[in-house]
Amino acid sequence: MAIAKEIKSAVFVKGSPTIVGVFDDGLPHIAFIGRSNVGKSSTINALTKQKGLAKTSGAPGATKHINLFLVNNNLYIVDLPGYGFVKGSVGKRDVLHDVIESYLSYRYEGEQAIVLILDAKVGPTKDDLDILTMLEDHGKKIVVAVNKVDRLKNSELKSQLIKIQKAIGGHTLVPYSAEKKTGIGALWVAVTKD
Ligand code: GDP
């Protein structure tokens, strides 16, 4: 199915701690994953041009659910739980890991891409690289989105992007700022490309 290059509508469908019964209609989906506080909600809001669609908060780790948004009535944006929330107990981290793993293992009819969001200033953390390996192991189409580029000076950004590209290998890298709305169009083009 052709995926529209422009988001015309986006509505929240449901939040669920599990994927069972959630993805049964075969529509393609694009999933977003990243460390808590990396700006995942801000990214979804910027892409859909809806400020309050995905909740943004200063409290990391608030979302343990998989949230589903229907875009243009023909694809899903999937908001996976943020990981790396150090305050959570080991048990809680395991639950999160299970939610993510179960999503990745689930077989869909629809095509899909996974967007791994990194923080431009922080760079890839060990958790980020572990998740990237997990995505690779599941054979997903991966786009690495580098958010918060506004936090770096141009020269710093350039060297940081080179460093990040080295760490992630040959994956497509898209720098952007959800807050300043720069690079958002390029991000959508990259994730919807066949
Ligand atoms: P989430 O936990 O990954 O969903 O992150 P949020 O979208 O709630 O954002 C976490 C914090 O990062 C908030 O304070 C946002 O305002 C901030 N943030 C998100 N995107 C950007 C960005 O592009 N630049 C800057 N400077 N801050 C951002």
Instruction: Give the residue, by CA position, lying nearest to ligand 1 atom 9.
Output: 39
pLDDT in tens, 45-89: 999 999 888 877 655 545 577 888 999 998 999 999 888 754 555
pLDDT at res. 83:
83
pLDDT at res. 63:
59
pLDDT in tens, 122-148: 999 999 999 999 999 988 899 999 999
Residue 99 has pLDDT above 60, yes or no: yes
pLDDT at res. 28:
86
Share the mean pLDDT of the chain. Answer: 86
pLDDT at res. 168:
97
Helix (H, G, I), strand (E, B) or coil at 84: coil
Task: Give the distance (Å) from ligand 1 centre to CA of residue 38.
Answer: 6
pLDDT at res. 59:
55
Strand partners, 71: 10, 75
CB of 170 within 6 A of ligand 1: the answer is no
Tokens matching residue 128: 């980020």
Residue 178 has pLDDT above 90, yes or no: yes
* 35/58: higher pLDDT: 35
Query: What atom in ligand 1 is closest to the CA of residue 60?
Result: 2
Query: What atom in ligand 1 is closest to the CA of residue 56?
Result: 8
CA 76 to chain centre: 12
Strand partners, 168: none
Place of tokens 């709305």: 181
pLDDT at res. 88:
53
Task: Give the distance (Å) from ligand 1 centre to CA of residue 153.
Answer: 18
Residue 145's alpha-carbon distances to 12, 46, 168, 174, in angstroms, are 22, 13, 11, 5
CB of 127 within 6 A of ligand 1: the answer is no
Residue 94 has pLDDT above 80, yes or no: no
DSSP 5: S
Other Cβ atoms less than 10 A from the Cβ of 38: the count is 28
